[in-house]
Structure 1
Amino acid sequence: MTQQVTTPPSPRTEPAQNFGTEGIAAMQRPSLITRALMAVVSRVERLNLRFSKVGNPPVYDKATFPWVAGIEEQWHLIRSELDKVMVRQSELPTFQDISTDVKSISQDTGWKTFFLAGYGLTSDRNIAQCPQTWRVLQTIPGLKTAMFSIFEPGKHLAPHRGPYNGVLRLHLGLIVPGPRDKLAIRVSDQVCHWEEGQALIFDDAYEHEAWNHTDKTRVVLFVDFVKPLRFPANLINWLLLNIAVFTPFIREGADNHKEWEKRFYAEAEALRNRPN
């Protein structure tokens, strides 16, 4: 899901969050309820900036969140479960297969996902494949979304911003090929590089883009968690995030994932039952 931003932040001042992405069409939905909700979101985003407990930088010092160290310590367990998932890499869905709004920034097959949870919805069958990963994820305060994000060789994700600044994003490097200068993510005016076993935390409400110009696949554990806010923003944020599950953006994605899941696990069952 994407919204539009207008101008890049000035490096001489504190970066500013804008509320759209230049060159990307705004999401259009026929529902009056959805349009009303998006108008509310625009107002609440300004409140979230004002009442943040952790400031509003594009990229955070991971020491800001003490629980991150425990995630990094167990990255090998997550990587071992990822390796089993990657055996069927070619059958995994693209992001736009699940969330059609992503077509505004990605139309090819270079960005794939293995979804675990999002906004109160879970993929029980995918979680069953990754029990240690799921256990580790439960230590993240305010966990909202979790998946493996798979960036294939040659993929460049266009500049965009996330739909809402009430969450922050964590990337845990799991498969990070070299050379370093060909694989990166830009958040506002900062270019960051993933490292295996290391977490990167950023605010995806700033314009960002990512690229993999290596000849190998990059994979991170992709997590959104609730941004720490003071009252009253924390209460309003909680309400919006819990209402989100009823919006077309989330419901459509859930339906698309269920259809993919049926096909994926039906094929796995057929392979197991095939006579020798």
Structure 2
Amino acid sequence: MDQTDCVAMTSPATTDQTNSTPSPDAKQTFGTEGIAPMERASLVTRILMGIVGWAEGLNLRYSKVGNPPVYDKATFPWARDIEKEWHLIRAELDKVLLRQSELPSFQDISTDVKTISQDTRWKTFFLAGYGLKSENNIKQCPETWRIVQKIPGLKTAMFSIFEPGKHLPAHRGPYNGVLRLHLGLIVPEPRDKLAIRVDKQICHWEEGKALIFDDAFNHEAWNHTDKTRVVLFVDFVKPLRFPARLVNWALLNIAIFTPFIREGLDNHNEWEKRFYAEAEALRNKAS
């Protein structure tokens, strides 16, 4: 297995990555114990969430790549190509971080994240998500944008910034029709104070290395160092067989019309206006 930065908390999970059935030691549950969902009164939203629950069962049954919490990078050959150009992404990130204090906290963009994060230590720099793009941010990171286009089924791309002391509590993602990639960009020491747990595996980020996992498993992450950790955060479509592939395509393409995505877009647009207006003011003052 090419995921040498992960260790099992207990005995290793008996996951066969070529098998379409989930391992008995690694189970997905809908929702996170101890964390209440955001209130959504819309009847349409409640119906959609029922369909999502049904689709998740299909995705587990018809997966082309099995259902492990953490994947062997060799399962996705394009991951090597992303790693080879990581230094170009890092160079663009360094420029973004010159204004780190002005970047939005994750929950300021995606309000549902308030169930797991309410401080200002988890920041983001958004490039694209579910058919929506930040053209201004992409202009700041053209190489990053070019590189992520190599990822089949790209759905989201952003920088995820964990400032010192940040601990994201145990939770699960909203839907198992996508998988997540973290590409380590800034990974401070000491190693034992910085990690992500996915199901029963504890993984450590490495600069220039990809970590691919299924965020529909219970997971948590922490940065107990005194420096900032940054990863390129990408969601991409999970490879599925028919009929799950068709259902998944439909759900992912209507996601743009849900309150979760629309609110995030509105919030990001408001932040972007302020961020780039301030940048323009600084340029005019300098000239």
* Common topology (TM > 0.5): yes
**TM alignment of 1:217-228, pairs within 5 A:** 217-228=228-239
Given the alignment of the two structures, is residue 196 of structure 1 paired with residue 192 of structure 2, yes or no?
no
Q: What's the CA shift for 1:256?
A: 0.1
Distance 2:55 2:175 in 1: 9
- Aligned amino acid, residue 164 of structure 1: Y
1:145 aligns with one of 156, 170, 178: 156
Q: Which deviates further from its counterpart, 137-146 or 21-30?
A: 21-30
Secondary structure of the corresponding residue to residue 182 of structure 2: strand
2:126 counterpart residue number: 115
2:194 counterpart residue number: 183
Q: What's the CA shift for 1:18?
A: 0.6
1:38 counterpart residue number: 49
Q: What's the CA shift for 1:14?
A: 3.0
Distance 1:158 1:23 in 2: 10
Secondary structure of the corresponding residue to residue 60 of structure 1: coil
Identity of aligned residues (%): 79
- Provide Cα deviations, 1:25-49, integer angstroms capped at 9, x if missing partner: 0232111111100000001000000
1:105 aligns with one of 109, 116, 126: 116
Q: What's the CA shift for 1:275?
A: 5.0
1:263 aligns with one of 246, 252, 274: 274
Q: What's the CA shift for 1:116?
A: 0.2
TM-score norm. by structure 2 comes to 0.92
- Provide Cα deviations, 1:167-211, integer angstroms capped at 9, x if missing partner: 000000000000000000000000000000000000000000000
- Aligned amino acid, residue 75 of structure 2: T
Q: What's the CA shift for 1:264?
A: 0.1
Distance 1:236 1:169 in 2: 19
Secondary structure of the corresponding residue to residue 221 of structure 1: strand
Distance 2:25 2:211 in 1: 20
- Aligned amino acid, residue 235 of structure 1: L
1:232 counterpart residue number: 243
2:218 counterpart residue number: 207
Distance 2:158 2:59 in 1: 25
Are the structure 2 counterparts of residues 111 and 275 from structure 1 closer, same or farther at C-alpha, using a change threshold of 3 Å?
A: closer
Distance 1:268 1:30 in 2: 39
Distance 2:188 2:286 in 1: 38
In the alignment, structure 2 segments of 5+ residues that lack a partner are 1-9, 15-23
Runs of 4+ in 1 over 2 A off after TM superposition: 9-14
2:80 counterpart residue number: 69
- Aligned amino acid, residue 148 of structure 2: L
1:6 counterpart residue number: none
Distance 1:141 1:275 in 2: 42
Distance 1:239 1:275 in 2: 49
Distance 1:75 1:141 in 2: 18
Q: What's the C-alpha RMSD, in Å, of the aligned pairs?
A: 1.2
Given the alignment of the two structures, is residue 159 of structure 1 paired with residue 167 of structure 2, yes or no?
no
In the alignment, structure 1 segments of 5+ residues that lack a partner are 1-8
Distance 2:26 2:137 in 1: 38
TM-score norm. by structure 1 comes to 0.95
Give the total of aligned pairs: 268
Distance 1:27 1:16 in 2: 23
Secondary structure of the corresponding residue to residue 174 of structure 1: strand
